[in-house]
Structure 1
């Protein structure tokens, strides 16, 4: 129990530190969202000081209040789920904007990351178990995709499979002309079709890392004494490979997977830019371009929670997979 309480306490402090940094970073950046809104309103007529003050209150950047009080208000609003109003999508709230875009990113990046991890671990396990096989010799070829710049690989696949072969669409999240967004079969089928090429790019560029890491850990684990003991007891090779070797070899990859899964949200920017995918990455780019403090803070908050949550989950899972972790703590 002490192990779990220490972990929870650490992540609570980390969340508070991240929220504090999340509050101050946008305010240290050049540009003012209030000035941006006033510039838009000025095109329709004169803007009074009262209107400016109202906008400052609305966007949470009231210069008449001390920065400490703004910080306290920010923490209170976050605790109540109020992330403010977006300048970019005014008068839409940040929470609504994130609710509209976050599912797209989670569906694309999350599923693709899980698929690449599962396939990479499985192939790496087999390659490490059968050293010198054709699968083991295939690893240098797969690392080529990881070495290629991600955006370049995305552009190549987009050109070959969309422009030349015309197998997949060139961009978008679904067919806006024929389907209506919602939980229905035509929309889901269209979303899967439009997301296949971006997901394929993610899998090809990341599967080699998981495969190589798992292969090397399997080779190292197979030389341990408990593997020799298991073989001497007459256990089946399949049980030795999965229960003894792979279970211990996967631990470092599991920690890396937690970090990767946590950065699913932030890692989608390039993907969504190349494929014009309507996810949170595109939203973040729009927020930065428009000095949208509230929206930037909302996106950073989602990234923070996803990273900390994924790491906490794996720390707890570590304690289940390897009980020695609790003993050392």
Structure 2
């Protein structure tokens, strides 16, 4: 992989983050009744005895900008603060935004990682079996089930699970990261409580997500099963097991790799609704609460975090795909 290719991809990733940050800053500042005006109105209402200078100073603390400065100065100050890891201060909770997002991020990563691993593992395994049994009753029924589940929104499954398994049957908790009486730490009790509370959010994503991976794996495998090099491999006396894993399975998985890396980033966007349904305090949960409370610093920080997750996922896929498939010359013709 050439250095110029890495630099080019890294530059594109930085530009994407820069563009999203600039766009979100510009839209929220230029629209009538934007965050600065809304915050000023809230502060005046809550602190009627404060002077306008004190109000502006409080605004600067929350938003990292001086409201009376020209827009380009506000923008430069905002970018400078972000580069230093300072996203401002939450209006709703009156703590630094990074403290809220830093506390919530590991929990979102936990449920999204477990869900992606489960849906990808089940989907790939099922898709491979369906391809080898093409045309059978199992293939037809499995494809139909996969199609129905992949067409079902994850939040529909989440609502059904939390209502039936949570409220009606009481088998699973309906909120929280772990039990109220459990002390956090590296103990079996704490870990089991964490997994118990994460079970329904993870299942909601996995059950509605594995069908798409299964259908993709099935289609890729069927297209590879007809290739000439498989007949050559059998003539060479290679075992069917080795052919299935080394030739069919690996080549069918390669086109899905980029989609998996993008899904890792996009999962953060999906956490917004999921965590709200299960009252699971992750990034998405706090982002919705920030919207309800018009907490613009937390909203801006959450949006930027989701953008970073998507960009990093795509960037890693770009850099590692050629390592998995040596036939791809990533440093050659880029085409863009």
TM-score (norm 1): 0.91
Corresponding residue for 1:294? Answer: 297
SS in 2 for 1:324: coil
Unaligned runs of 5+ in 2: none
String of CA shifts for 1:11-35, please: whole Å, max 9, x gaps: 2322322332243243245443564
CA distance in 1, matches of 2:265, 2:28: 22
Decide whether the 8 Å contact of 2:65 with 2:78 is kept in 1: no
Secondary structure of the residue aligned to 2:176 is: coil
Deviation of the 1:289 alpha carbon: 2.5
Distance 1:78 1:43, change over 3 A: closer
Q: Secondary structure at the match of 2:116?
A: helix
SS at 1:326 equivalent: coil
Give yes or no for contact 1:38–1:52 (8 Å, CA) kept in 2. no
Q: What is the CA–CA distance in structure 2 between the aligned matches of 1:175 and 1:82, rounded to whole Å?
A: 32
* 2:93 corresponds to: 89
Change (3 A) 1:47 1:322: same
User: Partner residue of 2:283?
Assistant: 280
Change over 3 Å in CA distance of 1:28–1:174 after alignment to 2: farther
Residue 269 of structure 2: aligned partner: 266
Deviations 1:204-236 (A, max 9, x none): 010000000110111011122222222222211
- Alignment partners' CA distance in 2, 1:231 and 1:28: 66
Counterpart of 1:314 in structure 2 is 317
Query: Is the 2:158–2:274 contact (alpha carbons within 8 Å) kept by the matching residues of 1?
Result: yes
Match of 1:123 in 2: 126
> Alignment length, in residue pairs?
327
Secondary structure of residue in 2 paired with 1:317: helix
The reply on whether 1:101 has 2:126 as its aligned counterpart is no
CA distance in 2, matches of 1:27, 1:166: 46
Secondary structure of the residue aligned to 2:328 is helix
SS in 1 for 2:267: coil
Question: Which of the numbers 15, 18, 21 marks the counterpart of 2:20?
Answer: 18
Aligned-residue CA RMSD (Å): 2.1
Please give the alpha-carbon distance, in whole angstroms, between the structure 2 residues aligned to 1:226 and 1:79. 51
Measured against aligned partners, the alpha-carbon deviations of 1:74-124 in whole angstroms (never above 9, x if no partner) come to: 22112111111111221x001101011111111112211122112211221
